Amino acid sequence: MKAGPRYHVKPRRHRQRITDYHRRLRLLRSKKTRIVVRRSLQNIRVQFIDYTEQGDAIVASAISSELKSAYQWKYSGDSTPAAYLTGLLAGARAKKAGIEEGILDIGLYHPTKGSRVFAALKGVLDAGIECPHDEEMIPAKERLAGAHIAKDMKPAIDDICKKITGGTI
């Protein structure tokens, strides 16, 4: 008969529902740069992360609060257009750092059609970074342009797009 405990305590981040280790391992095995999109109550953060044995290394990053300080964004930092612009900004920075492709890491968020996570992915794609995705998950252009929030938002978005990459939506 075998002696010892029969119950195995899961890692702390698994117990707290912070990390899905099975999904993380699948992403790491791809050997591609992870495009990590995380939401808080007021901001969206997009990071390009490479795995190293010493720990994850952030190659490029952007947070939607930068839109307010650097680009005079006067709307919410947690909206769909802000997520798009944050993805565009992070993608432009990653392009300058030499990143050509990545794989989306949404963590424990459920993949919902048209969500802010996929708006950020659309910004990354428009910046010129390759990433496998399903086109139907991306929000409509009207939502990316903020038509559902304010009528005067599209010119502000176009202006910020020009400042970041020199183009529009």
Query: pTM for the full model?
Result: 0.89
In a domain, 39, yes or no: yes
In a domain, 156, yes or no: yes
In a domain, 91, yes or no: yes
Distance CA 143, CA 165 (A): 20
In a domain, 150, yes or no: yes
Residue 123's Cβ-count burial label (10 Å; 0-12, 13-18, 19+) is buried
* Number of Cβ within a 10 Å radius of residue 133: 15
For residue 76, what is the domain's CATH number?
3.30.420.100
Q: What angle do CA 42, 48, 52 make, to 5 degrees?
A: 125
Instruction: Give the three-class secondary structure for 34.
Output: strand
For 136, the domain range is 17-164
Per residue of the chain (169 residues), give pLDDT as tens.
Answer: 566 778 889 999 989 988 888 999 999 999 999 999 999 999 999 999 999 999 999 999 999 999 999 999 999 999 999 999 999 999 999 999 999 999 999 999 999 999 999 999 999 999 999 999 999 999 999 999 999 899 889 999 999 999 998 765 5
In a domain, 25, yes or no: yes
CB 141 within 8 A of CB 169: yes
